[in-house]
Amino acid sequence: MEAVISSFRRGRHTQYTNQMIINADMNKEKAKELIGKKVIWTSPAKKEIKGVIKTTHGNKGCLRVHFEKGMPGQSLGTKVRIENGGS
């Protein structure tokens, strides 16, 4: 399954570079079923950064993902892969 990175998790004065908001094009109830699944982002240099879906974000089915290290700005708007295994 694929999703698109839409933003860093952020506040008014802070930006959490290892937490991203992704959009998986589903409603909130279906998005709750994905909590705990693994997420992989592949950089243009073919390096993989792995993360875990922690919770939903908002009412439109977006998800909050914690990655193992900070994500680069070039990851915004790119696709991530959600693994079927997980938990």
Walking along the chain (87 residues) 10 residues at a time, the average pLDDT comes out as: 94 94 92 94 94 94 94 95 77
**80: nearest Cα among 36, 52, 42, 45:** 42
Model-level pTM?
0.89
The pLDDT value given to residue 87: 53
The pLDDT value given to residue 84: 81
- Element at 29 (helix H, strand E): helix 28-32
Name the residue ranges covered by the structural domains of the chain.
Answer: 2-82
Q: 48-57 and 38-42: which strand pairing?
A: antiparallel
The pLDDT value given to residue 66: 97
**Residue 29 is encoded by which pair of tokens?**
């109830």
Residues 3 and 60: beta-carbon distance below 8 Å: no
Does 2-82 carry CATH code 2.40.10.190?
A: yes
